[in-house]
Amino acid sequence: MRRALFQAALAAVLASCASTQNGSVLVDGRRQNLSLAEIGNIVALSQRYIDSTESKLKGRVYLVHIASPNKVLVYFGEHLHAGPVGAAQYLELQRTRTSWRITGNILAW
């Protein structure tokens, strides 16, 4: 009985934290706030910036976290969870009236 109850509770928690995938990029957070097309545009904008010679950044986008309808965090690296243990590098994007704009590049420990 306890085991079945634990398994049911664990399944409910995992379902509530589930991420969806947009191509090879995971999407989590408030997914209902953005369309798949908008997420695709955010990924493309972020990857173009990362690949540009002026950014001096490296890696591929692997996760888009939708914090709100107007704020998104785009995680990137050489591979999933790249970088020092416990560190994550991401771009912060804010929605303007007509588009998305990169407002920060953060290395979080």
Residue 87 lies in a domain: yes
What's the CA gap between 10 and 21, in Å, rounded?
Answer: 22
Residue 38 lies in a domain: yes
Please count the structural domains in the chain. Answer: 1
Residue 42 lies in a domain: yes
Return the number of other C-beta atoms located less than 10 Å from residue 19's C-beta.
Answer: 14
Quote the strand ranges of the chain, DSSP E. Answer: 20-22, 25-29, 60-68, 71-77, 88-95, 100-108
- What pLDDT does 80 receive? 53
Mean pLDDT across the chain: 77
Spatial distance between the Cα atoms of 42 and 73, rounded to a whole number of angstroms:
10
Residue at 7 is within a domain: no
pTM of the model: 0.72
Amino acid at 79: H
Query: Cα 34 vs. chain centroid, distance in angstroms?
Result: 13
**Which residue range forms the structural domain that includes residue 88?**
19-108
At 7-35, the pLDDT tens digits run 444 333 333 444 555 568 999 999 999 99
Q: What is the pLDDT of residues 82-97, one digit of tens each?
A: 555 556 789 999 999 8
Residue percentage of the chain with pLDDT more than 70: 68
